[in-house]
Structure 1
Amino acid sequence: MTDTGYNFNQINPDYFDVLRPTQLPAYKNQYGTDGNVFFGVRQSMLGFNSSTQTRYGELTTRFAFDMFGVGVDAGQTTFHLLYAYAEMGMFGVGHNWGLFCDFDGFPNAVEYWGPSGMSLCKNVQLRFIPLNGRNRLAFALERPGASADQGVYRDRIELSDVNLKFDVPDLTAEFRATRRWGYVELAGAVRKIEWVDEGNEAYDLSGKVVGWGFNLSTNLKLSKKSLFIGQTVIGKGIQNFMNDAPTDIGIENDFGNANAPIKGVTLPLYGYTAYLNHQWNEKFSSIIGYSAVKIDNSNGQSADAFRHGRYASTNLLFKPFPNVTSGVELQWINRENYKDGWTSSATKIQISFRYSFKEEIKK
């Protein structure tokens, strides 16, 4: 897959070919100049699936990667693991989409990152699936993780020896009912987040909180050519389950407590996504939709902390042959800060070309 286009505004250069509201500038000219052309092949991917019959049933595996660098590799064209997962009967293990998210709620877009208000998170997990079919029920123990915003206190020495502790996994679950009109899915998550003050300063900043969330999503077949995609997410301390959201934990002032004048709290979150996929004919299709995520900030966060992100896009895709897709997509995002009055927006036009192929090997 090859992507090219034009960014009318500035964005974090590590994410030059996608639009993420959290990566918009938090102050004027944080990321240099407006108006830049981009080219990339980072969406190119390769995957391997297998199916093996055993005495206990069918064993399926999936291993896949693309070239979109994230984390320490942000901005690079490099190996990025997507799937390393195996499933047999009621059990699954490995790296896959977390149960809290619904990847079927991703619109038919060519932009890699997609709507900011939906939950999208891959994770290493142990999965139990007692129902799988017209009705699906699944539970998972997932690798724990969280992120913290130390706000206006980020440079204080007292915070330098506060470390996160994860002694229990995240618990997630989903139930999906599929019918001829589409499906509806409800997912939930609960997690323990703890931090330990291991220093000798006067303050003891240790603490722990419980994060939780619910995700209600659906695909509705409005007609033979139109599909509505919707999703609503609500919770606290679940930001790293989201497609594009900031930290799970914020600083709250507690000046009445002489031993711990500040404390960590889970940040409430609300997100939603509404998109329409429409097939004009056998060769042309389009999407149009809007998504947003909003954070209730804590009073110890800095004035330029992320508060509200918005995302919208529309496209026209052309599929001249079964394995070839090309198209043009218009995307817009917006960021609103906590309390300094700053807002910023970005608009991007993207043109993409994708060729898909597969080979099947039978014993």
Structure 2
Amino acid sequence: MYTVDFERKGPGLFLRDMRAGKAQDARRAAAVIAHVNPDVLVLAGIDYDHGLATLGVFADELSRAGVDYPHHFAQRPNTGMPTGLDVNGDGYFGDAVDAQGYGRYSGEKGLAILSRYPFLRDEARDFSEYLWRDLPDANLPEVDGNPYYSDEVLAVLRLSTTAHWDVPIETGNGPLHLLTYYATPPVFDGPEDRNGKRNADETRFWTKYLNGELSEQPANAPFALIGNANLDPHDGDGKGAAIAELLAHPSLQDPKPASVGGVEAANASHSGDPALDTAAWPENDKLPGNLRVEHVLPSRDLKVLDAGVFWPETGTEEVSLIAEGEGITRHRLVWVDIEMP
């Protein structure tokens, strides 16, 4: 799982920069991915377009870095998808906050999967249209005891800010289902806490899915839940109980991927184990410090061989791959090696 955060101000600009050889962030990310060399890679923060042109050109960048992924998967995300409504009630229509998921243009910073194994596309399920209000016990925002969103908005507003997918791959030893998502940050809102509540419910979707509480039932097959929850069980501004509940789910195992670099960069004010952190933000009045926000959780029937966070310790040769500078994401690549039953 790697949140690459390929940020641009308009549609097609990242694709343009890659084709022109000007995307330093693409080259930096490709070097990290090639070093870790996973067989299956979930990417968060890459633009979606029709025909998956952006994903294909990034795959070419990976090939030049020495790692090949012949199989690509992405669906249109909710980011930037117009609702046609004034979602936040500020009197304006068509702002980034009025989309299904925050986005200045359709497909901004979506979700994708690259794989050495073929996808069983006919069996893939996309839950991104699931309405927030339909989640059992949905924690919808309120102001002074009154609903923050109008009935008109709730009739169309989706739970997923980016996507929720169940995508199987054929491993040669049977199918492995990839349950993946990319949740909104639980900040950038007001006292109604609309992003904090939505963020937690995006994670609670998977808990309820695995519990069989939704009309959509999980497949009876090995799986791995992989995503950027934008949620730490101990630190940060989010509702950590939602991810803590998922991490403890009886059908999952938490291999606790760790790094030495995370320990070196520990925040003294945090209570969580810094070895498990996956994102390196400063700690100040606007930013939360280092957090564990990306998660790779295999099902209980899978044997975990090894796991880690690519966050090298100071003084090693590998640390240059994540050295701060132009084009480097604050997120770290999280990996888990498994053996199929």
TM-score by length of 1: 0.32
Higher helix share goes to which structure? 2
TM-score by length of 2: 0.34
Work out which of the two has the higher radius of gyration on C-alpha atoms and give 1 or 2.
Answer: 1
Higher strand share goes to which structure? 1
